[in-house]
């Protein structure tokens, strides 16, 4: 399966439909990994995407995350 970025953002995390796949891309090293909504602390459940992104740290050490919203294709 391949992730396709729809170049769309819900603005707020809580209005993102469940069927949308959220991927976190590190703009420093380029790695992409699926975002687990359940991992969000409660105080961020209604946060703006731009508020969440700076909090996500990549395994490379960079805090340069970009959240991508899209879907999988075979």
Interacting residues with Zn ion (CB under 5 A): 26, 28-29, 58, 60, 62
Sheet holding 2-5, edge to edge: 2-5, 65-73, 21-26, 32-34
Q: What angle do CA 20, 42, 61 make, to 5 degrees?
A: 75
Q: Which is nearer to Zn ion, 26 or 67 (CB)?
A: 26
Which SS3 state, helix, strand or coil, does residue 68 take? strand
Q: Which is nearer to Zn ion, 3 or 12 (CB)?
A: 3
Q: How far is the CB of 3 from Zn ion (least distance, A)?
A: 16
> Residue 20 gets which letter from DSSP?
S
Q: How far is the CB of 32 from Zn ion (least distance, A)?
A: 10
Q: How far is the CB of 28 from Zn ion (least distance, A)?
A: 5
């Amino acid at each position: 399966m391949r992730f396709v970025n729809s170049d769309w953002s819900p603005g707020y995390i809580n209005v993102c439909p469940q069927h949308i796949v959220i991927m976190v891309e590190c703009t420093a090293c380029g790695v992409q990994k699926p975002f687990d909504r359940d991992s969000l602390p409660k105080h961020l459940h209604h946060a703006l995407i731009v508020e969440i992104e700076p909090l996500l740290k990549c395994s490379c050490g960079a805090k340069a995350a970009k959240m991508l919203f899209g879907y999988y294709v075979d």
